[in-house]
Amino acid sequence: MQPSQFRILYRVFLMRVVDLELLSKDGDPARLLGQLAALLAGISLTFSLPLLLIGRVTPEMAAVAEHSLLALNMVVIGLLSVLSWDAIFPDRRDAMVLSPLPVAPRTIFLAKAAALTYAICLSFIALNIFTGLFWASCFSTSDSLLGAVRAIAVYWVSNALAAAFVFTAVIAFQGAISQLLPRQIFLRLSAPLQMGAFCLILGIYILEPSLESTALLSAPVNQSLLAFLPSYWFYALFQQLNGAPSPVYAPLAARAGAALAIALGTAAVTLAISFLRSLRKIAEQPEVLPLNWPAKRSFPASHSLPGAVALFCLRTLLRSAQHRLVVSSYLGGGMAIVLVYVRAIFFQQHVGRAAAWSRPGTALIIPSLLMLSVAIAALRVVAALPVALRANWIFRVTEVHPPEAYLVAVRRAFLLLGALPVYVVSAVVFLALWPARFALEHLVVLALLGCLLTEFCLPGFHKLPFTCSYLPGSGNLQYVFWVVVLLVLPFIGTVARFELRMLSNPAGFAAIVAALSILLLLARKRTAVVLRPVSRMLFDEVEPHQILSLNLNQP
């Protein structure tokens, strides 16, 4: 292996670990990773603040905190591994570009592995930078300094092993399926699998019950559940390494070791096979092929500009891995928050659960509002990312309509692909669970809100989705995350409570519908006003001027 080849490839692959949407300006991977590390360190500080405020913790609190931090590490590293789904295994681009060059597959593999491992390790350290010091020192079984040092060391080791397990398990899962299935079928299934893994990791994190005490861990009734909850395996490993005397931890800790060994081994074998055997095969075979549905001929029902735009958007979302990934991330995040809201109903006793589902309440209103907002926001964000930028000339030379016609087409595409799927699912859920009147009233409100949110996305978006160039770094993820957590979620909660109050009487419902209708009309008017000076659609995003003239030389 040539060190220079490794260094160059390492840098290239590091750029590809996290998606383009997150890239900092100038595509600088150091800045990108810095942003990510800052975000994770912020989460670490947030988790440490309660401890800094209360000072000391009881052993029971410490046990819950240790398990929570282990689970947090596993979910964050798991999600990052799923987001870097395409970063570790060789793809067509690697095969086409690197195969003709005198670069050994081993070098490509090592560079990819090093880039991904670096990003994951950095994330892990950032996520534990405060908790790994403040909380870890509280997990000591003795009051001595040596005990605290040991607890900190054990904390880092057990959390690192837990993170390594999740990371390698994701690679092993992907690698095993990629080797078992023909490549084209794997590529077709890759996006649903990625989204499934995303939801599974989040779902386990949010829905797993609290079983930290030795009594609960040893209870026979919990053993089948514990077999599927890896965070408790590594929690037991932590307790064992930390010198906890209870024998209840031994079998779970052994399971953690075995699971880590299996995940590591499978990941290593599948990676080796992929790089040594599959690289040439990838170059020979085409990528995802469109499905040959019998009904495809009749699919483009509307032979119009909105039809063309909607179909182009749909096909891009279905077939472009990068765009699917961004949408999956948004929807997965939304689903996680939805699970938090419906978790309370899940854990109710059987008798109470049926009543809780059928009683109109915010536990279902908030998820529907949230998913509607997330779906529209995801589509708005992903629509700004171009697919095959250099192919957009066809939209330019066929720009035979005025901008207003394109606005109508984009609005319809956003409504069809962003709002409608959530709306249909919500309609099924609400009509099945709630009394008809409440369900219909909420669906009317949801429809108006969908139109309103779509309208909010349109001013300034004088583009056709997926066709305009994109300036990276404008996502500002590190700020957006905190804005969503601190402002958007409480706001949605307030809106849901307000809506519930208004739905309980006809006058309130009429008032809310009237208010939303007026808002929608005003929003549409604003969109039209903003569009008025635009004479042509935008295909090249321009950098905002860095230097503003103050015109001081003017009289």
Q: Spell out, one character per residue from 479 to 518, where the chain touches another protein: x when CB under 8 A holds, - when not.
A: ----------------------------------------
Residue 213's identity, in one-letter code, is S
Closest contact distance (angstroms) between CB of 421 and another protein is 20
Token pair listed for 151 = 């607890």
CB nearer to another protein: pick between 89 and 406: 406
Q: Spell out, one character per residue from 343 to 382, where the chain touches another protein: x when CB under 8 A holds, - when not.
A: ----------------------------------------
Residue of 56, 350, 390, 545 interacting with another protein (CB under 8 A): 390
Distance CA 39, CA 42 (A): 5
Neighbouring CB atoms inside 10 A of 275's CB total 22
Closest contact distance (angstroms) between CB of 375 and another protein is 22
Which residues, 6+ apart, have CB-to-CB distance to 225 below 8 Å?
209, 211
Residue of 401, 437, 501, 532 interacting with another protein (CB under 8 A): 401
Q: Spell out, one character per residue from 285 to 324, where the chain touches another protein: x when CB under 8 A holds, - when not.
A: -xxxxx-x---x---x--xxx-xx--xx--xx--xx----
399 binds another protein (CB under 8 A): yes
Give the binding range for another protein (CB under 8 A) out of 185-193, 261-269, 335-343, 394-402: 394-402
CB nearer to another protein: pick between 376 and 464: 464
Helices (H), 227-359: 230-241, 249-273, 279-284, 305-319, 321-346, 350-358
Element containing residue 129 per DSSP (H, E) = none
Closest contact distance (angstroms) between CB of 308 and another protein is 3
Residue of 27, 192, 209, 402 interacting with another protein (CB under 8 A): 402
Closest contact distance (angstroms) between CB of 289 and another protein is 5
400 binds another protein (CB under 8 A): yes
Degrees, nearest 5: CA angle 325-319-388: 90
CB nearer to another protein: pick between 24 and 328: 328
Give the binding range for another protein (CB under 8 A) out of 225-233, 344-352, 399-407, 410-418: 399-407
Q: Convert 186-195 to b/e letters by CB count within 10 Å (16 or more is b).
A: bbbebbebbb
Closest contact distance (angstroms) between CB of 414 and another protein is 18
Residue of 396, 437, 501, 532 interacting with another protein (CB under 8 A): 396
Element containing residue 539 per DSSP (H, E) = none
Are residues 36 and 480 in contact, defined by beta-carbon separation less than 8 angstroms? no
Tell the residue number behind the tokens 């599948």, with chain if given: 270
Residue of 1, 261, 391, 428 interacting with another protein (CB under 8 A): 391
Tell the residue number behind the tokens 């330019």, with chain if given: 396
CB nearer to another protein: pick between 11 and 315: 315
Closest contact distance (angstroms) between CB of 187 and another protein is 11
Are residues 152 and 168 in contact, defined by beta-carbon separation less than 8 angstroms? no
532 binds another protein (CB under 8 A): no
393 binds another protein (CB under 8 A): yes
**CA end-to-end span of the chain, whole Å?**
67
Distances (CA, A) of 142 to 68, 145, 245, 385, 514: 21, 8, 13, 54, 65
388 binds another protein (CB under 8 A): yes
CB nearer to another protein: pick between 133 and 311: 311
Q: Is 444 exposed, middle or buried (0-12, 13-18, 19+ CB in 10 A)?
A: middle
CB nearer to another protein: pick between 397 and 547: 397
Distances (CA, A) of 420 to 190, 406, 412: 24, 20, 10
Degrees, nearest 5: CA angle 544-545-551: 145
Are residues 407 and 375 in contact, defined by beta-carbon separation less than 8 angstroms? no
Which residues would be at the binding site for another protein (CB under 8 A)? 286-290, 292, 296, 300, 303-305, 307-308, 311-312, 315-316, 319-320, 387-388, 390-391, 393-402, 536
